Amino acid sequence: MMTRIAVLAAALAAAPSVAAPDAGPAGPDGSAPRRSLQYNSCAARDAPPPSSLSSSRSVIDAAMSHIRRHRSTIEEGLFRSKPFWNATYTVPSTEYRYEDFESALKFMATTGVEDDAGRGRRKKFWLGPDNCNDDGYVVGLANVAAFLGQSAATVIANDTCDELNWEF
């Protein structure tokens, strides 16, 4: 299972690596520094207020574009399941498809669902902050990787729609 999660994390982490004046220290091997929100002087200033964790259209578009570019890696490395409970190999999932994932992610990032309390607020999937370097979507990719990693470990691998209950 960790192999699939590692493949997905590598695909999602393949965001552009461009050195910027405020990019931070060089790598231990002397390589050019990677742009990082940690060393980004505008990240804190441009972060959304805590009450509105909704990504802007440009951030959503950047994240979705990055995910689309890595479609084959995601399909081949993540949307796979065991054909039977003790199988030692995987096959393409019959329940989980890339198209459905992309559609659901876009819906949750843009429209969301009604708040449980019914206060008219919407819960959305956060795909990152706006910032002056236009790389806030990288934070959102970490959210996507965490969500898919949990999904792969609990439901995708077994082609189920809910967690498996091993206590029956």
Say what the pLDDT of residue 23 is: 45
Tokens representing 153? 């470990």
The two structure tokens encoding residue 147: 């969500």
pLDDT tens-digit series, residues 50-89:
445 788 899 999 999 999 999 999 888 888 888 887 888 8
Degrees to nearest 5, angle at CA 27 with 26 and 29: 120
Question: pLDDT per residue over 5-33, tens digit each?
Answer: 444 444 454 444 333 334 445 555 665 55
128 vs 14, higher pLDDT: 128
DSSP assignment, residue 113?
E
Per-residue pLDDT band for 120 (boundaries 50, 70, 90) equals confident
Q: What is the pLDDT of residue 163?
A: 60
C-alpha pair distances (Å), 63 with each of 26, 50, 66, 126: 26, 21, 5, 10
Contact 59, 128 (CB under 8 A): yes
The more confident residue out of 167 and 111 is 111
List CB contacts of 11: < 8 A, sequence separation 6 or more.
70, 73, 74, 77
pLDDT of residue 66: 95
Q: Which of 56, 71, 35, 49 is nearest to 128 (CA)?
A: 56
Please report which confidence band the pLDDT of residue 135 belongs to, taking 50, 70 and 90 as the band edges: confident
Confidence category of residue 119, pLDDT binned at 50, 70, 90: confident
- Rounded CA gap, 1 and 43, in Å? 34
Average pLDDT over the chain, rounded to whole?
Answer: 74
Q: Is the pTM of this model over 0.85?
A: no
Q: 136 in helix, strand or coil?
A: coil
Percent of the chain whose predicted confidence (pLDDT) is above 90: 23
Task: With beta carbons less than 8 A apart as the criterion, state whether 53 and 36 touch.
Answer: no
Distance CA 48, CA 43 (A): 10
